[in-house]
Structure 1
Amino acid sequence: MAGFPIRRFITQVTEDLSCEGITADKPLRKVVVGAVLANPFAGKYHEDLSAAVEWSPELGKLLGGMAVEVLGEPALSYGKGGIAGTGGSQEHVVSFVTTPFGNALRDAVGGGAAWVSSATCVGAAGTPLTLPLAHKDALYVRDHYDAVTLYPADAPYPDEVLVAVAVANRGRLNARLGGISADEVVGKDGLT
Structure 2
Amino acid sequence: MPDFPVRKMLTILEEIRHENGPAPAAPRLRGAIVAIVRNPYAGGYVADLQPGMDDLKPLGLEMTDRLIAALGGIEGIDGYGKAAIAGEAGEAEHAALWHVPGGYAMRERLGEARAIVPSAMKVGGMGARIDVPLGHINAAYVRSHFDAMEVGVPDGPRADELLLALAMARGPRIHNRMGGLAAHEVTGLDGLR
Which category of TM-score, normalised to the shorter sequence, fits these structures?
Answer: over 0.9
Cα distance in 2 for partners of 1:110, 1:152 equals 30
- For 1:56, the equivalent position in structure 2 comes to 56
Matched, 1:87 2:74: no
Partner of 2:111: 110
The separation in 2 between residues aligned to 1:118 and 1:155, in whole angstroms, is 19
Where do residues 1-192 of structure 1 align in structure 2 (5 Å cutoff)? 3-73=3-73, 74=75, 75-95=77-97, 97-192=98-193
Q: What TM-score comes out, normalization by structure 2 length?
A: 0.94
CA deviation map 1:86-129 (0-9, x unaligned): 1111110101x223541222112233100000001111111111
Kept in 2, the 8 Å contact 1:64–1:109? The answer is: no
Measured in 1, the distance between the counterparts of 2:92 and 2:174 equals: 33
Q: Which runs of 5+ in 1 are unaligned?
A: none
Q: 2-side partners of 1:18 and 1:148: how far apart?
A: 16
Opposite residue 158 of structure 1, the aligned amino acid is A
Task: For structure 2, list consecutive stretches of 5 or more residues without a partner in the other structure.
Answer: none
Q: Report if the CA contact (8 A) 1:116-1:136 is conserved.
A: yes
Kept in 2, the 8 Å contact 1:65–1:109? The answer is: no
CA RMSD for the aligned pairs? 1.3
| Amino acid corresponding to residue 60 of structure 2 in structure 1 | G
Question: Which stretch has the larger CA shift, 100-109 or 71-80?
Answer: 100-109
Q: Is the 8 A contact 1:64 1:108 kept in 2?
A: yes
For 2:112 and 2:159, the matched residues in 1 are separated by 34
Q: Which one-letter code corresponds to 2:89 in the other structure?
A: G
Q: Closer, same or farther in 2 for the Cα pair 1:111/1:16, shift >3 Å?
A: same
- Given that 1:82 and 1:162 are in contact with CA atoms closer than 8 Å, whether structure 2 keeps it comes out as yes
Moved over 4 A (4+): none
Task: State the TM-score, normalized to the length of structure 1.
Answer: 0.94
Note the alpha carbon deviations across 1:1-34, whole angstroms, 9 max, x for none.
x821101001111111011132111111110001
* Number of equivalent positions: 190
